[in-house]
Amino acid sequence: MSEPMFMSFTIGGKIKRSIIPELLATVKNEVSEITGPTTEEEFLTEAHGQGRDIEWQGMVNYGEPDELKVFCEKHDISYIHRCGASFEYGASIAFWTPGMEKEKSYRTSHDGELSVDVNLIRPYVALLLEYAKHQEKCLGAFVGIPTLESIVQKGLQNPKTIIKNIEKAVNILLPEEPSIPPLTLED
C-alpha cells in the first residue's frame, strides 16, 4: 500500500561531481512529479556560482525519500527534507549534516512553521513564573513532578542553578531552525 505525499528535499554542502549522476538516478527513482534538476546539465546550471542549494519537490511514498536520505548520508551531503500533511499524517521537517549521528526531525504546521507541543513546555513555564515571584521558596511545590524532578532537586541544592537548568531543558524541547551549508562542487 502506498500513500504518495508532497515533499521537498534541499541539499547543500560539498558534493563530488562524480556522484551527481547517481544522485540524480536516486532522485528520479524515488520522486514522482519532480520539480528541480533531473539531468546533470540542469544540476550544474542550477548549482552554477557555488553557494546555492539544490531543491527537488515532488510526490514520494508517505513523503519519506528513504533512498535519497541514505544516499546523502553515505556521501556526506547535507539535506533538509520537508513533508506536507496528508489525512492522518502530519507535516514535518527533518535535516542532517555530516557529523550528526542521526537526522533531527520536527513537526510543523501545514505551512511549514516549526511547532512544539505546549504540554511539554507548560511545566517549565509554570516553574519559571513561580520562581520569578517567589524565588527558591516555590521549589517545594514542584517536588514529585517527573518532568521537573532533576531541575527542582538541583535547585534545592543550589538555587543559583535553577534558571540555567530550566533554560537547558527548554532548549532541548524547542526545535532549532534547520540550516545546511551552501552547495560547493568538488572534483
Higher pLDDT, 3 or 124: 124
| pLDDT tens figures, 12-47 | 999 999 999 999 999 999 999 999 999 999 999 988
d(CA 39, CA 45): 10
The residue-averaged pLDDT of 150-171 equals 88
Q: What is the pLDDT of residue 162?
A: 87
| pLDDT tens figures, 115-142 | 888 888 899 999 989 989 998 888 989 9
Domains and CATH numbers, the chain: 4-115+176-186 (3.30.70.1270), 118-173 (no CATH)
Q: What is the pLDDT of residue 89?
A: 77
| Residue 1, pLDDT above cutoff 60 | no
pTM reported for the whole predicted model? 0.77
Q: Are 50 and 184 in contact (CB under 8 A)?
A: yes
Q: What is the pLDDT of residue 88?
A: 77
d(CA 105, CA 7): 14
d(CA 91, CA 72): 22
| Residue 178, pLDDT above cutoff 90 | no
| Residue 49, pLDDT above cutoff 80 | no
| pLDDT tens figures, 58-115 | 999 888 999 999 999 999 999 999 998 777 778 888 999 999 999 998 888 777 778 8
Among 133, 132, 131, 156, CA closest to 143: 156
Q: What is the pLDDT of residue 71?
A: 98
Following CA atoms 134, 137, 140, 143 in sequence, which dihedral angle do they give, to the nearest 10 degrees?
Answer: 60
The neighbouring-strand residues paired with 55 are: 10
d(CA 66, CA 122): 34
DSSP string, the chain: ---EEEEEEEEESEEEGGGHHHHHHHHHHH-EEEES--SHHHHHHHHTTSS--EEEEEEEETT--HHHHHHHHHTT-EEEEEE--BTTBPPEEEEE-TT-SS-EEEEB-TTS-B---HHHHHHHHHHHHHHHHHGGGGGGGGTT-GGGHHHHHHHHH-GGGHHHHHHHHHHHHSPPPP--PPPEEE-
What residues contact residue 85 under an 8 Å CB cut-off, 6+ apart? Answer: 91, 110
Band the pLDDT of 167: cuts 50, 70, 90. confident
